[in-house]
Amino acid sequence: MTQTETPPQSETLGFQAEVKQLLHLMIHSLYSNKEIFLRELVSNASDACDKLRFEAIDSPDLYEGDGELRIRVEYDADKKTITVSDNGIGMTRDEAVANLGTIARSGTKEFFSQLTGDKQKDAQLIGQFGVGFYSSFIVAKKVSVLSRRAGAPETEAVMWESDGQGEFSVTPVEKADRGTAITLYLRDDEEEFASGWKLREVLRRYSDHISLPIQMLKEEWDNEKSELAKKSEWETINQASALWTRAKSDITDEQYREFYKHVAHDFDDPLAWTHNRVEGRSEYTQLLYIPKRAPLDLWDREGRRGVKLYVKRVFIMDDAEQLLPAYLRFVRGVIDSADLPLNVSREILQESRDVRVIREGSAKRVLSMLEDLAENKPEDYAAFWEQFGQVLKEGTGEDPSNRERIAKLLRFASTHGDTSAQTVSLADYVSRMKEGQDKIYYVSAETYAAASNSPHLEIFRKKGLEVLLLSDRVDEWMLSYLREFEGKPLASIAKGGLDLDALADEEEKKHQAEVAETFKPLVERLKTALEGKVKDVRVTGRLVDSPACVVVDEHELSPHLLRMLQAAGQAAPEVKPILEINPEHGLIAKVQAASDDTFGEWAQVLLDQAMLAEGGGLADPAAFVKRMNKLLLG
């Protein structure tokens, strides 16, 4: 060493604030589930081997003569340590600092903003977020990570160490073999994990689905010493074949569930799964899961989506979004293709005919799984709908070839149940349609309350006609694609003239015609008073308790959609409403009797309150209040 060179130095660095918070939460909330740390470490080791195998497709030298990838678990009962090691991709110093000192995952902001302080709820949330490496600190008072990246010189390894309190150190060290060895120094009350029996039991339970061999040193009973003695020979304690390649009949539900937790980085069990081998024009295997809960980044454009892609059992990439349409982005799992080249890139995926076949096939499988759930496990389907219904609705526009199947899977709130729970299917609705009814009626508004209190509903309630109550953001968009169901058009009850004639009896029709005639002069007066503000004024039979309402023409954008466009800063055309008045209402009689002096005020109040009831704002609310007060004082 020359004089100017300094010996490698150890550096102490602070954890990112979020990591500190996560560590604290994890240790305190996940205590009852502490053995999951082993699953997480094995899962990471397996991912590291997958990454190496992928990089080695182009650079076989990375194997450094050792192509047999494996994970090893060792323990020392005296020192109370456990070591999980792999010969995977490994980490450089900088990677260790970034990966084990910060959290740079989508959904991080949502995660921290949703924490409540309630241990159980927070534990659930941490599970959804992903526990990962940091879960080691649930059982360990100190963790050391010794790692060398594949292809880096032996002298360029790193030792990362921390007691999980707020800081960690990184020290340059030497390591002959590539990969990562993570040693946990167990807390005093966690010694039970430093046992061959315990480790085997936990590994079999949580990690049997891992496709690489998980090895431990053989142990045999030593009669002389009356204890289990470790041999120098390794034995593989899992089945070590990719789970999805095994026959369905050889896989237990427990193994399917554990595999899900590994691929989806979820803590919870999945809601459902589908596992198929497809042969023929295209050959692939799919194992796809529906999670129980929406990930925190479901609405995050940068969020994770899609499934893991394997080609002939070699891991190629995470989140291969081309393999499923975007409206199924909540699906997790694995697709293993026999046709794609190993060097496939995201760009190639976009163009590939094989990928298109896989995407179409996978979408169909997921829809079948959902249909099965809806039919045979309605409670599970309701849980699915609550979490992912809004995303599935996007499919009505995105996937025209499956629109009918998707339409059958949709669930809505309606006046039938009068609750905000979305449980009514279009088929349910159709089965309850009245004789002579040929349309599926709906009303859409910003909120469920606004929809269910819409004045437009009055006549429907009176006649016992069911109306769907739509208030999800995606609904208006969906309605522009979903125009009918089983030949029955979907019709907004806030648009156009109300065509309930088929449902009215002769006497009603006669009465309506007479009323329209009687109120003609009032209608004309209102038209003049509101000129420029409304498109038309007419008498309606759709109201029962309200004096007036506003509607728009059939082909025009609904006021609700207009407001959404305006809120999104988009140019929206000007749409003048049609004012409809209820001839049976006392207030209309009052307006009719108003003198010319106050008639203008009455007309304006009638329009303003109809706009308010519809869920819209007023351009000049203060003027409305002033006018109202004046009229109230009489």
Binding site listing for ATP: 40, 44, 86, 91, 99, 106-107, 128-133, 180, 346
Among 88, 270, 577, 583, binds ligand ATP (CB under 6 A): 88
Nearest CB to ligand ATP, comparing residues 146 and 522:
146
Cα–Cα distance list, 37 to 138, 163, 199, 204 (Å): 8, 16, 11, 14
Among 44, 87, 162, 414, binds ligand ATP (CB under 6 A): 44
| 466 contributes a contact to ligand ATP by CB under 6 A | no
> How far apart, in whole angstroms, are the C-alpha atoms of residue 207 and residue 50?
16
Q: Residues forming the annotated binding site?
A: 40, 44, 86, 91, 99, 106-107, 128-133, 180, 346
Nearest CB to ligand ATP, comparing residues 42 and 335:
42
| 265 contributes a contact to ligand ATP by CB under 6 A | yes
For 441, list phi and psi in degrees, rounded to 5: -90, 145
Closest separation in Å from C-beta 175 to ligand ATP: 13
| 124 contributes a contact to ligand ATP by CB under 6 A | no
Among 73, 82, 91, 263, binds ligand ATP (CB under 6 A): 91
Closest separation in Å from C-beta 484 to ligand ATP: 43
| H or E element, residue 470 | strand 468-470
Each residue 594-623 as x (binds ligand ATP by CB under 6 A) or -, in order, gives ------------------------------
* Segment interacting with ligand ATP (CB under 6 A) among 3-11, 41-49, 535-543, 546-554: 41-49
| 127 contributes a contact to ligand ATP by CB under 6 A | no
End-to-end alpha carbon distance in the chain: 101
CB-based burial of residue 351 (10 Å sphere; 0-12 exposed, 13-18 middle, 19+ buried)? exposed
- Using DSSP's 3-state secondary structure scheme, residue 578 falls into strand
| 132 contributes a contact to ligand ATP by CB under 6 A | yes
Closest separation in Å from C-beta 84 to ligand ATP: 8
> How far apart, in whole angstroms, are the C-alpha atoms of residue 199 and residue 189?
16
Closest separation in Å from C-beta 33 to ligand ATP: 15
Structure tokens at 626: 């002033």
Structure tokens at 83: 């070591």
* Segment interacting with ligand ATP (CB under 6 A) among 126-134, 152-160, 216-224, 283-291: 126-134
Structure tokens at 466: 């069911």
Residues in the chain: 634
The H-assigned helical ranges of 100-217 are 108-114, 119-129, 196-207
Closest separation in Å from C-beta 145 to ligand ATP: 8
Separation of CA 204 from chain center: 30
| 355 contributes a contact to ligand ATP by CB under 6 A | no
How many chain residues are in contact with ligand ATP, going by CB under 6 A? 18
Closest separation in Å from C-beta 256 to ligand ATP: 19
Q: Are 271 and 388 in contact (CB under 8 A)?
A: no
Among 50, 86, 208, 354, binds ligand ATP (CB under 6 A): 86
DSSP secondary structure of 24-58:
HHHHHHSGGGTTHHHHHHHHHHHHHHHHHHHHHHH
Q: Are 81 and 183 in contact (CB under 8 A)?
A: yes
> How far apart, in whole angstroms, are the C-alpha atoms of residue 341 and residue 509?
70
> How far apart, in whole angstroms, are the C-alpha atoms of residue 191 and residue 82?
10
Closest separation in Å from C-beta 555 to ligand ATP: 49
Residues 160-219 that bind ligand ATP (CB under 6 A): 180
| H or E element, residue 144 | strand 140-148
Residues at the contact surface with ligand ATP, assessed by CB under 6 A: 40, 44-45, 48, 86, 88-91, 99-100, 130-134, 180, 265
